[in-house]
Amino acid sequence: METKSRQARANPRGWAELVLPYLRPADLASIALTCKSLYEISKSVTKLRASDASGGLEKNPIPFFNSLDNQLYSYFIYSPCSVLPSLSRARQPWGEIRNSHENGTVIRPFEAAASMAGIDSGCDCGVCYKDGSQGCPCSLDGLTEVMTECGMSCNCELDCANRLTQRGVSVRLKIVKDKSKGWGLYANQFIQSGKFVCEYAGELLTTKEARLRQQKYDQLISKRKLLSSALLVVREHLPSGKACLRVNIDATIVGNIARFINHSCAGGNLSTILVRSTGALLPRLCFFSARDILEGEELCFKYGDVIANPNGQPCCCGSKTCLGVLPSETT
Ligand SMILES: C[S@@+](CC[C@H](N)C(=O)[O-])C[C@H]1O[C@@H](n2cnc3c(N)ncnc32)[C@H](O)[C@@H]1O
């Protein structure tokens, strides 16, 4: 960064290359109109953004494809894991001329995010091994809907075999625009049944804040000022059945590629599993392939079973069992 700033002072083009990746699409488009060299830099930034939604934060680039109109990418702040709203106000560069995939930087997004959130590790179970080869009591075998992994209170590190969902996205994916559903997430390779695909990451909100945001999004969608929102409510029922833990994750402004997964009334090809990591307060919602998925197939899951608003957003999942409306709940 220091080298980059020095270069920028000596050379206005360097300055522009440093600043433009921080701009939102509308500002980038405005600045592109001012002179030829800024037009060229904006074009490179746009090309890099369209080539990788994760901005280099996942192992493989996740490109956008759109054969319907001239929108080259969907703008949001990428975070490989969930963050608190206060952290999400930070600006993020996207489309740096030296892309991290190109310069060979090794990215450890979960470590970076954990250190950003002030989380560190240290074990108290005492029996989990660094390479995970001898298993760990933190893991509960045989459960399909709730799974437990090693976490911040374990001795092991990210390469532990029992931290399957903590190393980011390893399958190749792409984002494709559809005329009725908007952007959607697709497999860019064959994905074997049972493979971890991604977690649903976004801003962790209080229920009060989630309700306010949902109201705001519904209003904007009805006025066609917002095309889609990505606020998900996860409820984990406690064994007593009398109470449940509620986690509100909003990926509309800050999130990862899971924000592009569309709904299918037939259930789709992804299963959702709540993953608890030892020492973590909240479970994470993770997606696994529910069957073998072919390269080029759209990845979908069922958003829910309740339709609180029969006049809500129309569903275009195309399945035989389509209910015609997207699931909605009173948040
Ligand atoms: C989590 S986002 C999914 C990504 C979204 N398509 C986009 O362009 O960003 C949820 C939104 O996608 C759209 N969507 C998802 N599934 C759909 C479906 N089956 N039919 C129509 N629209 C759908 C709705 O606008 C919904 O509010």
3-state secondary structure (DSSP) of residue 4: helix
pLDDT at 3: 63
Query: Rounded to whole angstroms, how far apart are CA atoms 268 and 243?
Result: 29
Task: Return the pLDDT at 140.
Answer: 40
**ipTM surpasses cut 0.85:** yes
Residue 269 near ligand 1, beta carbon < 6 Å: no
Quick one: which H or E segment has residue 251? strand 244-255
Evaluate whether 264 touches 248 at the Cβ level (below 8 Å).
Answer: no
Q: Which pLDDT score, from 0 to 100, does residue 4 have? A: 61
> Which residues fall within 8 angstroms of residue 286, CB to CB, at 6 or more apart?
147, 165, 196, 197, 198, 199, 200, 272, 273, 274, 275
Tell me how far apart the alpha carbons of residues 214 and 276 are, in angstroms, rounded to a whole number.
Answer: 26
Query: What is the model's pLDDT at position 269?
Result: 97
pTM over 0.95: no
Looking at residue 106, what is its pLDDT?
A: 38
Looking at ligand 1, which atom is closest to the CA of residue 303? 16
**What residues are paired with 247 via a beta bridge?**
234
Q: By C-alpha distance, which of 250, 258, 256 is closest to 230?
A: 250
> Residue 272 forms beta bridges with which residues?
287
Ligand 1 pocket, mutate which of 78, 181, 219 (most atoms under 8 A from CB): 181
According to the model, what pLDDT value does residue 261 have? 98
Cβ contact 246:235 at 8 Å: yes
Atom of ligand 1 nearest to the CA of 232: 1
pLDDT in tens, the chain (331 residues): 556 666 656 677 888 899 999 999 999 999 999 999 999 999 999 999 999 999 999 999 999 999 999 999 999 999 999 998 865 566 788 888 765 454 444 344 444 444 444 333 334 444 454 444 444 444 443 334 789 999 988 999 999 999 999 999 999 999 999 999 999 999 999 999 999 999 999 999 999 999 999 989 988 888 877 778 899 998 877 777 777 788 999 999 999 999 999 999 999 999 999 999 998 888 999 999 999 999 999 999 999 888 878 888 899 999 999 999 999 877 6
- Give the distance, in angstroms, between the CA of residue 94 and the centroid of all CA atoms in the same chain: 15
CA 262–ligand 1 middle distance (angstroms): 5
The number of the ligand 1 atom at minimal distance from the alpha carbon of 318 is: 19
For 244, which DSSP code?
E
Angle (nearest 5°) at CA 43 between 39 and 46:
135
| CA gap 163, 77 in Å, rounded | 25
